């Protein structure tokens, strides 16, 4: 994801732990999940620290903030353009690497320079479908 020394902010043990947690993480965690995962080993970890660190990383373009989950922001250390698929039951988010040709016609483009797009898919994962069948 990133070279620690290039980030340009003071690396406290808490911030370093957050960076380590995010490195290669494909689970698209929320700030709350990161806080929960790290607060046992780092008792001084707080949700505020997690939020502030994520916001700094986002401003520096080192982490993507995803809005696919309507309940909470989710974070992705993979900053390359890609799309996402979320299970509406367990809120698991997986990467979608299919490329879509989503060029806008001139009318819709309205003289904007379009820099990118993000496609959000919603569905039900195999585990949740199985659980639903078990209840039926």
Out of Zn ion, Mn ion, none, what residue 35 binds, judged by CB under 5 to 8 A for its kind, is: none
Q: How many residues bind Mn ion (CB under 5 A)?
A: 3
Helices and strands, counts by H and E, the chain: 5, 5
- Is residue 84 within 8 Å of 98, Cβ to Cβ? no
Q: Which does 11 bind (CB under 5 to 8 A by kind): Mn ion, Zn ion, none?
A: none
Distance between CA atoms of residues 122 and 43, nearest Å: 36
Best CA proximity match to 17, nearest among 133, 46, 27, 8: 46
Instruction: Spell out, one character per residue from 77 to 116, where the chain touches Zn ion: x when CB under 5 A holds, - when not.
Output: ----------x-xx--------------------------
Answer yes or no whether residue 131 interacts with Zn ion by CB under 5 A: no
Choose, by CB under 5 A, the member of 37, 79, 96, 125 that binds Zn ion: 125
Q: Kindly state the DSSP code that residue 54 receives in the 8-state scheme.
A: H
Q: How far is the CB of 78 from Mn ion (least distance, A)?
A: 5
């Amino acid at each position: 994801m990133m070279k620690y020394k290039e980030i340009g902010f003071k690396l406290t043990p808490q911030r370093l732990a957050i960076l380590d947690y995010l490195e290669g993480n494909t689970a698209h965690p929320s700030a709350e999940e990161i806080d929960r995962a790290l607060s046992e080993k780092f008792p001084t970890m707080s949700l505020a620290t997690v939020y502030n660190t994520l916001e700094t990383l986002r401003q520096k373009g080192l982490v993507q903030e995803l809005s696919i989950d309507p309940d909470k922001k989710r974070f992705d250390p993979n900053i390359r353009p890609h799309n996402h698929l979320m299970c509406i039951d367990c809120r698991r988010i997986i990467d979608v690497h299919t490329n879509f040709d989503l060029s806008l016609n001139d009318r819709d483009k309205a003289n904007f320079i379009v820099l990118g797009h993000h496609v959000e898919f919603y569905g039900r994962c195999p585990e949740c479908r199985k659980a639903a069948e078990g209840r039926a």
